[in-house]
Structure 1
Amino acid sequence: MAGDRTVTDEVVDSLRGSADPRLRELLTGLVRHLHAFAREARLTQQEWERAIGFLTATGQACTDTRQEFILLSDVLGLSMLVETINNRQGPGATESTVLGPFHMTESPVRELGANIDLVGGGEPCVVSGRVLSRDGGPLPGAVVDVWQADGNGFYDVQQPGVQPAGNGRGLFTADDEGRFWFRTCVPSPYPIPTDGPVGGLLRATGRHPYRPAHVHFIASAEGHAPVTTHIFVAGSDYLDSDAVFAVKPRLVANFAPVDDPSAARDFGVANPFRHARFDLVLERA
C-alpha cells in the first residue's frame, strides 16, 4: 500500500509501460514536480478541492471564440516561458512572443494596403515594413497574418454583435521586394477578459489585467521558420507591467505622428495620422 513517501514512486512506476518515450518523460516529470509541490506546500484537502474547482471552471469558460486555458497560461508566465525555450532567434532576427488567446479565427485574405479597421473611431494609422531573411534579403510572397483590438480595446470575437467578423484582422502577401503595408487604427491598451476564473485569480493576487497597446503578427516564408510576435506602441501604458509578460524592448516601435495631407492621400487615410515602420526578420529553417 502506498504511503505519503512512496506514492510518487508508485505512480512513476505505473508509467513505465508507455510506448511513447516522450510521453513517459513528460508525465514522469509532471508527477514528480506536482507531488513535490504538494509536500512542500503541505496542500490541504480543501485547497486541493478548490484548485480542482478552479480548473473545472476554467475549462467550462472555454468556447469556440474564447480560450481561458491559454489566458491562464499567459498570466502565469508559462506561455512566455515555452515561447522562449522553443524560439531562440539569432542576432537580428525578430524576437517571438506569445500567441495570445484571440487568434481564434482565420484572418480574411486582404490586398496590400487594405484597411483592417472596419468600424472606425480610432486614430488612423498606417503600418508598413518588409519581411526579410536574417541575411538581409527580401522574402517575396511571405505571408503576414495580423490581428489587433479595435480602438476601444476589444477584439472582434469579444463583440460579435458590435464588430463585424474579421475586424482588426488581415492575411497579407508581401510583394516582390518583401514589402507589406496596411491601414488600421492605433491600438490602445486593454484589459484581458476578467469575467472568468482567470480574472478572479488576478483579483485574488492583487494584479491588474492590462496589456500595453500592440498589434499581433505571424510571419512565414518558404525555407524559413515562422515567427509569432507583437509590435508594441512606444510610450504605451503598461509596457513595464504587461499582464502576460510578453514585452521585449526590441519589439517596441514608434507609431510616429504624421501631418502631411499629400502623404495621407497617398495612403488613403485621414490627416493627421500615425505611421509605424518595422521589418519582420526570419531565421532560415
Structure 2
Amino acid sequence: MTTDVTVTDEAVASLEGTADPRLRELLTGLIRHLHAFARETRLTQAEWERAIGFLTETGQTCTDTRQEFILLSDVLGLSMLVETINGDHAAGSTESTVLGPFHMTESPVRRLGENIDLVGGEPCVVSGRIVSDDGTPLPGAVLDVWQADGNGFYDVQQPDVQPTGNGRGLFTADAEGRFWFRTCVPSPYPIPTDGPVGELLKATARHPYRPAHIHFIATAEGHTPVTTHIFVAGSDYLDSDAVFAVKQSLVEDFTPTDDPSLAREFGIENPFRHARFDLVLDRA
C-alpha cells in the first residue's frame, strides 16, 4: 500500500519503462525534488490547490504574442540559471543572457543602417562587428534585434498603437562583419504585471522593473549562436533587474554624439546617442 514514505520511490519506479534515458533522468530528479519540497515545507492541500490554480492561470494567460511561463521562469531566476549553466563561452566571447518573453514574432528583414524605431524616440545608432573568438570577421552573420519603444512597451503589447515590427530588425553583416542600425535609446520599463506573474511580484513585495536594454541573437555559420542584451550604462535597475539578467560585460555606453560627419555616415541628424560594441561568437 502507498504511504507518504513509499510514494516517492513508487513514482520513480513507474518511470522504468521510459525509453529516453535523459527524459527518465529529468523526471526522476523532478519527482524527488518536488516530493522533498512538499515534505520539507509540510505543503498543505489548500496551498497545493492554490499552486495548481496559479500554474493554470499562467498557462491561460499565454497567447501567440505573450509568454507568461517564460516570464515566470525569468522572475524566479530559472531562465538566467539555465543560461549560466549552458553559457560555457571562450574567454572574450560575448556572454549570453535571457531570451525574455517578447521574442514572439519574426523580425522584419532590414537593410544595414535602417531605422527600427517607427514611432519616435531619442535618436540612437548602434554599431559594431560580429567576429569569431579569434577576432576573424564573420561576413554574412545574421543579427536579430528587438527592443521596447521609448516608453517601455514592445510592439506586441500595443498592437493598436505601434506598427507591427516596431523595434525589431533582422540584419546581415557586411563583408567585414560590420553591422549598424538606427533606433531610439531604450528606457527602463516594468515587465507585464497584469497577470499571475504580476500577482506573484506584488505578493513578494518585488518591483517589476528592468534596466534599459536591447536584445540580440547573433548567428553565423560554423559558430554557436548567442542570445544576449546590451544594457545602457547608468540606467536605473542595473543592480536589481527583475529577471536577474545583467552581466557587467554587457553594460555599454550610449554616448552623446554631435559629429556632423558621423551623422552623415549613419544618415541621422545631430545630436544623437551612439553605442558601439562587438559580438564575439564561439566556434562550434
TM, length-normalised to structure 2: 0.99
Shift in Å, 1:270: 2.3
Q: In structure 1, what is the equivalent of residue 257 of structure 2? A: 258
Shift of 1:85: 1.0
Cα separation, 1, equivalents of 2:207 and 2:158 = 22
Q: What is the letter of the counterpart of residue 100 of structure 1? A: G
Deviation per CA, 1:196-231, whole angstroms, max 9, x where unpaired?
Answer: 000000000000000000000000100000000000
Are residue 184 (structure 1) and residue 183 (structure 2) matched?
A: yes
Superposition pairs for residues 117-196 of structure 1, below 5 Å? 117-120=117-120, 122-196=121-195
Matches within 5 A, 1:1-285: 1-120=1-120, 122-285=121-284
Structure-2 separation of matches of 1:19 and 1:90: 35
Structure 1 CA distance for aligned equivalents of residues 113 and 262 of structure 2: 14
C-alpha deviation, 1:265, in angstroms = 2.8
C-alpha deviation, 1:267, in angstroms: 1.6
User: Which whole-Å CA distance do the structure 1 matches of 2:45 and 2:269 have between them?
Assistant: 61
CA–CA separation in structure 2 for the residues paired with 1:161 and 1:265: 34
* C-alpha distance after superposition, 1:239-277 (max 9, x if no partner): 000000000000000000002233223322221100000
CA distance in 2, matches of 1:226, 1:20: 27
Query: How far apart are residue 90 of structure 1 and its match?
Result: 1.2
CA distance in 2 between counterparts of 1:261 and 1:205 reads 50
Alpha-carbon distance between aligned partners in 2 of 1:269 and 1:88, rounded to the nearest angstrom: 38
How many angstroms apart in 2 are the aligned matches of 1:142 and 1:253?
Answer: 22
Identical counterparts, % of pairs: 84
Code of the residue aligned with 2:174 in structure 1: it is D
Give the counterpart letter for 1:92 in structure 2. G
Q: Write the distance in 2 (CA, Å) between the matches of 1:195 and 1:261.
A: 45
AA aligned to 1:173 is: T
C-alpha separation in 2, matches of 1:275 and 1:29: 47
The one-letter code sitting in structure 2 at the alignment partner of 1:113 is G
Structure 1: distance between partners of 2:238 and 2:34: 33
Amino acid at match of 1:212: P
Amino acid at match of 1:99: L
> Which AA in structure 1 matches 2:49?
E
RMSD after superposition = 0.6
Could you list the runs of 5+ residues in structure 1 that have no partner in the other structure? none
Which residue identity lines up with residue 279 of structure 1 in the other structure? D
> How far, CA to CA, are the matches of 1:19 and 1:267 in structure 2?
56
Q: What is the CA-CA distance between 1:20 and the residue it aligns to?
A: 1.0
Structure-2 separation of matches of 1:269 and 1:180:
16
With the length of structure 1 as denominator, give the TM-score of the two structures. 0.99
